[in-house]
Amino acid sequence: MNKSAGYESVATVFIKGRGCAVNGAGTSSVRDWVRTLSSGSTVLDIGCGTGVPISKTLIEEGMTVYGIDASPTLVNAFQKNFPSSPIACESVEDSSFFNLGFDAIVAWGLLFLLSKESQVLVIQKAATALRTGGKLLFTAPSQNAEWKDVMTGQQSLSLGTAKYKEVLATAGLSLLEEFEDEGGNHYFNTVKN
């Protein structure tokens, strides 16, 4: 079963659009966030796609980046873009997260593509993989909502701020702040207690 949330079927179109948008939505927000980390921090980008623009931004800011994506086509593009960065072609739900601890984890444009149960699982897995004081940054609408993903036509789901706060607390994460970027993407910036 393809667990790429429909992105393998639209990978070529994605690569021609967001997958090559070096200054795409989220770049400045992720750059500001990553500057709160120590230089050389180890960061996991889950649902990394081609690595452009999020992993690229992390690498430019001196981070050691690992990536996970379930789309073989997007993983291949990531490997071409960042041959020195390890990447795993697997679903985030099934991933071992390289069996490593991370200083930070980014999930840009991923969580809301997953079911409620998978979102909870991924947040729990991220919390486990983070070192104490490590940060998780993810995007999802602040309101509880369901819609069709524009790229894939698949169902998307935001649990909403109240539910995300509950899930984060249960996983041992504290919400530091919420903010929006120039493209209207809503961010949850968290830290492991």
The pLDDT of residue 153 is 77
Q: What is the mean pLDDT of residues 29-54?
A: 95
- 12 against 171, higher pLDDT: 171
pLDDT band at 3 (very low <50, low <70, confident <90, very high): low
Q: What is the mean pLDDT of residues 118-131?
A: 98
Give me the amino acid identity at 157.
Answer: L
- 39 against 3, higher pLDDT: 39
Kindly report, residue by residue over 8-26, the tens digit of the pLDDT. Answer: 655 566 566 544 455 666 7
Any alpha helices (H) in the chain, and if so which ranges?
11-16, 27-34, 54-60, 72-81, 116-129, 160-170
The dihedral formed by the CA atoms of 9, 10, 11 and 12, expressed in degrees to the nearest 10: 120
The pLDDT of residue 1 is 46
- In the chain, what are the domain boundaries? 11-184
11-184 has which CATH code? 3.40.50.150
